[in-house]
Amino acid sequence: MARCILDKEKDPLGTMLSDFCCGDSGAFLNVWSSTLEMSTMQGTTMLRGFERMNDVEKCALAACRGRILDVGAGAGCHSLVLQSRGLDVDAIDISPGCVEVMRRRGVEKSYHRNILDLRNSRYDTVLMLMNGIGISGSLDGLNLFIQHLDTLLAPNGQLLADSTDLTGKFLKKGEAVYDEEGGYCGEIDFVMIYKGLRSDPFSWLYVDFELLHTICSFHGFRCDKLIETEEKHFLARVYHSIECG
């Protein structure tokens, strides 16, 4: 899990989004991965409006309430929808380019922050979307992040976060869910490249719901699945076991 904020020279995503906002409508970056196929991230996708969002995102936006923290907000597409509904949203991202783009697009409260640096802010909803649990990077990182939630959630607060269960995909290829060193199949390393700018390698976690549920229970949280697609992309709601009356 990233423990700091990024410098401009290590920010291909933010730079690509800035270029897109400045009129380069074809801007995209390449994403290299240790196990998945090479892919791209398009400016048009990152700046999607509500009508282009998928059912998982729409379900998450409908479940948002109270004071909201959008973690890893990117270009601010979810923050903008929530803001337009009159909700109070803080948007944070480690990418300076993303924060600049959010400000330009009208996200009123956007900050250049790492989620691990926020403490005692007390939100009713912490939102993490686009396989947002991935920010935790690994199962160790997820344990750390779920503990950190205690310092972020108001009484009766909730985390709404999505992920994709890759275990079936690995089993289908005859590969193990845990490798010989105990590494989980959903811990995937990536590098992003845009016009000669290269990110440091970072890991992203894709977790199956059962494992997420077990980790949440271990730390005293409940975890419900709100929606799941045929591709095993799901939205989870995580909240304190004892709800305050």
Residues that bind ligand SAH (CB under 6 A): 1-2, 13, 46, 71-74, 77, 92-95, 98, 114-115, 129-130, 132, 135
Give the nearest distance from C-beta 70 to ligand SAH in angstroms: 7
Give the nearest distance from C-beta 139 to ligand SAH in angstroms: 16
Give the nearest distance from C-beta 4 to ligand SAH in angstroms: 9
- Between 177 and 193, name the residue whose CB sits nearer to ligand SAH: 193
Supply 74's token pair. 């990117």
Give the nearest distance from C-beta 175 to ligand SAH in angstroms: 26
Helix (H, G, I), strand (E, B) or coil at 244: coil
Nearest to 57 by CA among 68, 69, 48: 48
Quick one: CA dihedral 188, 97, 67, 51, positive or negative?
Answer: negative
Give the nearest distance from C-beta 217 to ligand SAH in angstroms: 24
Dist CA 158 CA 199 (whole Å) = 31
- Between 102 and 216, name the residue whose CB sits nearer to ligand SAH: 102
Tell which phi-psi region holds residue 110, choosing left (phi > 0), alpha (psi between -120 and 50) or beta.
beta
Give the nearest distance from C-beta 118 to ligand SAH in angstroms: 9
- Between 170 and 190, name the residue whose CB sits nearer to ligand SAH: 190
- Between 98 and 238, name the residue whose CB sits nearer to ligand SAH: 98
Helix (H, G, I), strand (E, B) or coil at 89: strand
- Between 35 and 42, name the residue whose CB sits nearer to ligand SAH: 42
CA terminus-to-terminus distance, the chain: 34
Nearest to 110 by CA among 61, 74, 85: 74
- Between 98 and 207, name the residue whose CB sits nearer to ligand SAH: 98
For residue 127, how many other CB atoms are within 10 A of its CB?
27
Dist CA 33 CA 20 (whole Å) = 24
Judge whether 43 and 16 are in contact, CB under 8 Å.
yes
